[in-house]
Chain A
């Protein structure tokens, strides 16, 4: 396994490996830049983007608030369509169901289209342990499967690899030297997969959206591989997160507007398949048997949790990864979970019943808010990162030294006299290390900071020490306010009071 992908160690250690990997950083920068500028252009061109986002958010909020109702509706309709519907509370249960189906079908091979839930369940590993050949048919997934890695991006699983690395992997697979030419490489994979599609016993997919009103599942893809997976093998298994539901086809229109534009900047995804049950008598193709496994695996923990329920609104577009300045530098494997980037930093702990929050994954963010701004359904990811940090502290898993430091912080900030005294002491203490108005000392908390910076020292006179003089000086030189400005300010005060906000000098 790639060292950068290990779940061992801390985020900081894993990020350290990634930061020293220029191939990875350049590959991630190159593709995320392309994706985010594509998204900006596509959303601007579509127009009224903020209204579409709000519409999307409302649909997701409504569905999740009534998830029990819509899940039942979906299941009833899917069963009417002849689908075998299963519920899996966790990874073990989901794996059991898949393995039972595979055994009953005496399956020797499974061909898969891209599914993050299957990654979450590590289903490939279970199938391969049972001697069942499992082939990923999405090009990116095929590449990381060859490399023995997990996806480093929700939408672009091999984003961290450049075409030279990909050519190397595929050459090994082909047993012949393939040039780093994307057309030739894709052509090789296409030919190879064609055989696999024709020979597979089971086709396995994820699910982008499940339509409650008809019991249908919808797949978005660009390569046509999901069509092959869902038409050629005799048995189809769909793994579906329990929150993938939307009420109606009408709602899908909103999602089909938001998802491709947010993910890749495409106006439409190349293939959008709606599948309503297995092959019927008159159908030319399609699976004879279809299973949908509805997976909980920690999702229901977020229901009723006011701070995290909106996580279930996620439509897995990856837009938050593409704008994240941290992801840009450390790639997806540094996050140590199946899901990476800002959504992964919140989702991984959440799906693990907040156990993983004791890890420092939530600290790998500058809280810049680019994720929340990019999210097509407006999930407040940067707020959630703070909530995770708070829960860690409240449950006594905070760093002992940090906790002590924060207590000290509160003591100082409770009283300006103490803060002043601390500043005065700091001014004396810094004297030996200030040279040419800068501090370059690299010890304690300044070690990492000063590796990249020269620190400005505490000023000789703080603002509050200068205030008396400054205040007298400006009182002498100040000009009177003009009447128009005064009126504007009065007007603002009146409006504020009219909106029910009291207080202030005028009371």
Chain B
């Protein structure tokens, strides 16, 4: 059984600790992750900007990287969902279309993999903090990952989960949107952080480092002390404590 890690470029370059937490956490449940080093980026920046030819180039490296995997697991709902666009990108190319359908079927976001595939909701973690959860748009709305993270969080000993007001509102990242429409994006992230502050949570947890990078960047800009973590990090740290 070959279970491969689709690290995503952001976790690879900026947040390697998220990948490490996933690897160690899954190893504790008997899943030895494989890491195909030829993988690059899912191609979402170019896809969303309308550059589909460039996207096909990125997509092909991903399709090749995971061709022989039985399961692919990724720390991002957004990058996982991007794979669901691959069949549309290669609809006129039978060779790549076949690989695209396969990858779509075998790729899971981290919590999907834990809950749906492994059947685990309790990893035995202890994390005695007040935590609020931001459901990223692509993961929750497009990929449909809504219950899995809550199921995992509710099993963590000592953790107090406080609801985030307007949780389902976008944090304002949107990839190149944050650069092209920086003031609109800025207004959105400021409001998201206002809501996080209202919860008085010590920790903000999520499933997508892009959104979390955006929110963490604004928290730090405003001098706020809220700790920002990927759920994999939180669970791994919680297992280490217990």
Interface residues of B, Cβ cutoff 8 Å to A: 1-2, 7, 9, 11-16, 19-20, 23-24, 27-33, 35, 37-41, 43, 45-55, 57-58, 60-61, 67-71, 98-99, 101-102, 105-106, 117-120, 137-138, 141-142, 168-170, 172-175, 177-191, 213-214, 216-218, 220-221
Contacts of A490 in B (CB 8 A): 1
Contacts of A364 in B (CB 8 A): 181, 184
Are the C-beta atoms of B174 and A413 separated by less than 8 Å?
no
Contacts of B68 in A (CB 8 A): 504-505
Are the C-beta atoms of B30 and A406 separated by less than 8 Å?
no
Are the C-beta atoms of B102 and A452 separated by less than 8 Å?
no
If A325-B188, A416-B37, A448-B182 touch, whether A368 touches B105 (CB-CB below 8 Å) is: no
Are the C-beta atoms of A370 and B50 separated by less than 8 Å?
no
B38's nearest neighbour on chain A, judged by CB, is: A416
Complex Cα distance, B16 from A294, in Å, reads 59
The 10 closest A-B pairs by CB, nearest first: A448-B182, A481-B30, A366-B174, A453-B217, A389-B50, A368-B170, A503-B102, A452-B186, A410-B54, A413-B58
Contacts of A325 in B (CB 8 A): 169-170, 172, 188
Contacts of B99 in A (CB 8 A): 503
- Beyond A326-B188, A438-B220, list 19 extra A-B contacts (CB 8 Å): A19-B184, A364-B181, A365-B177, A366-B178, A372-B141, A389-B50, A393-B51, A402-B49, A406-B45, A414-B57, A414-B58, A416-B40, A448-B178, A459-B15, A464-B35, A485-B29, A489-B71, A496-B105, A505-B2
Complex Cα distance, B56 from A406, in Å, reads 12
A387's nearest neighbour on chain B, judged by CB, is: B50
A393's nearest neighbour on chain B, judged by CB, is: B50
**A501 adjacent to chain B (CB < 8 Å):** yes
For chain A, the count of residues having a C-beta within 8 Å of the partner chain is 91
**A residues 430-452 with Cβ under 8 Å of B?**
438, 445, 447-449, 451-452
* 26 A–B contacts from the bound complex (CB under 8 Å): A360-B180, A363-B180, A363-B181, A366-B174, A366-B188, A367-B137, A368-B141, A391-B50, A392-B50, A407-B54, A410-B53, A415-B40, A423-B13, A452-B185, A453-B217, A463-B11, A467-B35, A478-B27, A479-B30, A481-B31, A488-B117, A489-B70, A489-B117, A501-B105, A504-B106, A505-B1
Are the C-beta atoms of B54 and A406 separated by less than 8 Å?
yes
Complex Cα distance, B7 from A369, in Å, reads 24
Complex Cα distance, B113 from A452, in Å, reads 34
B59's nearest neighbour on chain A, judged by CB, is: A413
Contacts of A413 in B (CB 8 A): 40-41, 43, 57-58, 61
